[in-house]
Amino acid sequence: MVRIKMCGLRRAEDIIAVNELRPEYIGFVFFPGSKRHVSPEAAKTLREKLASGIRSVGVFVDEKPETVAKLFSEGIIDMAQLHGHEDEAYIRCLRSLTDRPLIQAFRIGCTEDIQRAQASTAEMILLDAGAGDGKTFDWRLLHSVSRPYFLAGGLNPENVSRAVEQLKPYAVDVSSGIETDGFKDILKMRAFIKAVRREDLRHE
Mean pLDDT of the chain: 94
pLDDT number for residue 138: 85
Residue 149 phi/psi, 5-degree rounding, is -150, 155
Show which residues are catalytic: 7, 128
In order, the DSSP letters of 118-134 are: HH--SSEEEEESSSSSS
pLDDT number for residue 144: 87
Distance, CA of 55 to CA of 57 (rounded, Å): 7
pLDDT tens readout for residues 6-51? 999 999 999 999 999 999 999 999 999 999 999 999 999 999 999 9
Q: Which domains does the chain have, with CATH numbers?
A: 3-202 (3.20.20.70)
pLDDT number for residue 136: 78
- CA 143 vs CA 28, 121, 158: distances in Å: 29, 20, 21
Give, rounded to a whole angstrom, the gap between the first and last alpha carbons of the chain.
9
